[in-house]
Amino acid sequence: MSSKVKEEQPTRTPSTVTPRGTLFVVSSPSGGGKGTIIRHVLDVVPNLSYSVSYTTRAPRLNEVDGREYFFVSHETFEAMIGAGEFLEWACVHGNYYGTAKKQVLEDTAAGADIILEVDVQGAASVRQLLMDSVSIFILPPSYDVLKQ
């Protein structure tokens, strides 16, 4: 007669792995209302953070380094380009603007949902590097006029 011994199954504990956050990429042509829409969304959507970009332009009145932008010199920005530190970047009216790759990857890996405001070209760059991001394109207010 054979005896069957019941094997003990390992005890399963809830996963402690933090779910990956989502990157929302909001783009439109200049003047399309990205900033206004993003400010409203940040006011009403919990646990959503704004990705602060780098720029070489001078701060405007009431802008704070690290809140609206990280303000850096042209030399620093160009060194960051050379080191491959940007997810996307552009030169607009003689000033650089860009999104730090490390910041976005670390924040989303930690489970944070991030909203990123970029121009149309920047959104295309992000889509090529982070295909799992959510892209939102805002038609500018003048779009209705263009259709006529």
Whether residue 9 is contained in a domain is answered as: no
Whether residue 18 is contained in a domain is answered as: no
- Residues 5-58: tens digit of each pLDDT: 555 555 555 556 668 999 999 998 877 888 899 999 999 999 899 999 999 999
* Domains identified in the chain, total number: 1
Judge contact between 26 and 127, C-beta under 8 A: no
Whether residue 11 is contained in a domain is answered as: no
Whether residue 97 is contained in a domain is answered as: yes
CATH code, 43:
3.40.50.300
Percentage of the chain exceeding pLDDT 70: 83
In terms of residue numbers, what domain contains 50? 23-147
Name the pTM for this structure: 0.77
pLDDT value of position 3? 52
Whether residue 76 is contained in a domain is answered as: yes
- Residues 81-103: tens digit of each pLDDT: 999 999 999 998 999 999 999 99
